[in-house]
């Protein structure tokens, strides 16, 4: 399902740049975590306001673009929870797919509207500032795409996440979730996740994994793609 990409580093200069970028990213993560420790809800908006968004790729998720290119995504209504600046929402939207991007942060929504202002498919998507766990749409979804959302919520909220996915997805709908991070760690966000963590909260609702694969197009160590 996935193919490798050519992302070679060129000599010592490439290694030094990679190290520098990793250090900057770690610093942003630490500052982000400090803000969220003080305010677990409003802190996300503060992070967007201050530009502390190390999860934001400033482009659509590479593996998503591959799935779109292969025309393997379901058609119909699509939900992207924790959509951030909306790059994935914009990429998915077309006459065959209407996409709803959810965000808790007002500043993220403003950024998403700015990023999408020139999109030719603007009538096929919308951004809503709301809480994923309390939002009640009038229609269910054919596809839910979750990337850096599950890992951002506190582990105690994961069972509620599973319930909401079940409530929002059509009975024959599809969930695509990219697992990250999968390394050993304490605290977060991002919080450590595993296949077992997803199975624990999704199996009670009748979900079954149809595909679990290494994501060779992933940025950095964001490697695994699950489809339920």
Task: Identify the three-state secondary structure at position 132.
Answer: coil
**Cβ burial, residue 34 (10 Å; 0-12/13-18/19+):** exposed
Q: How many domains does the chain have?
A: 1
Q: Is residue 96 part of a domain?
A: yes
Q: Is residue 32 part of a domain?
A: no
Among 53-62, 69-78, 102-111, 125-134, the minimum mean pLDDT is found in 53-62
| pLDDT tops 50 at residue 87 | yes
Domain span including residue 75 = 55-221
Please give the Cα distance from 29 to 71 (Å, whole number).
35
CB 83 within 8 A of CB 104: no
**Tokens standing for 183?**
């390394």
- Model pLDDT for residues 118-174, shown as the tens digit of each residue: 999 999 999 999 999 999 999 999 999 998 899 999 999 999 999 999 999 999 999
Among 14-23, 188-197, 205-214, the minimum mean pLDDT is found in 14-23
Q: Is residue 29 part of a domain?
A: no
pLDDT at 181: 74
Q: Is residue 208 part of a domain?
A: yes
Please indicate whether residue 53 or residue 200 has the higher confidence score (pLDDT).
Answer: 200
Q: Is residue 197 part of a domain?
A: yes
Give the CATH number, domain containing residue 91: 3.40.50.150
Please give the Cα distance from 170 to 174 (Å, whole number).
8
């Amino acid at each position: 399902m996935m193919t490798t990409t050519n992302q070679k580093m060129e000599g010592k200069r490439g290694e030094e740049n990679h190290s520098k970028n990793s250090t900057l990213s770690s610093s942003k993560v630490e500052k982000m975590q400090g803000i969220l420790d003080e305010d677990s809800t409003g802190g996300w908006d503060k992070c967007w306001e201050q530009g502390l968004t190390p999860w934001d790729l400033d482009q659509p998720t590479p593996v998503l673009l591959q799935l779109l290119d292969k025309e393997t995504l379901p058609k119909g209504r699509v939900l992207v929870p924790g959509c951030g600046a909306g790059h994935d929402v914009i990429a998915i939207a077309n006459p065959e797919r209407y996409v709803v991007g959810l965000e808790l942060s007002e500043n993220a929504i403003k950024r998403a509207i700015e990023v999408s202002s020139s999109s030719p498919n603007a009538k096929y998507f919308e951004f809503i500032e709301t809480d994923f766990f309390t939002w009640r749409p009038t229609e269910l979804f054919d596809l839910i795409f979750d990337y850096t959302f599950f890992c951002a919520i506190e582990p105690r909220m994961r069972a509620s996440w599973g319930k909401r996915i079940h409530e929002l997805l059509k009975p024959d709908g599809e969930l695509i979730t990219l697992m990250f991070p999968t390394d050993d760690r304490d605290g977060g966000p991002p919080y450590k996740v595993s296949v077992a963590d997803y199975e624990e909260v999704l199996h009670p609702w009748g979900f079954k994994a149809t595909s679990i694969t290494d994501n060779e197009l992933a940025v950095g160590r964001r490697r695994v793609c699950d489809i339920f």
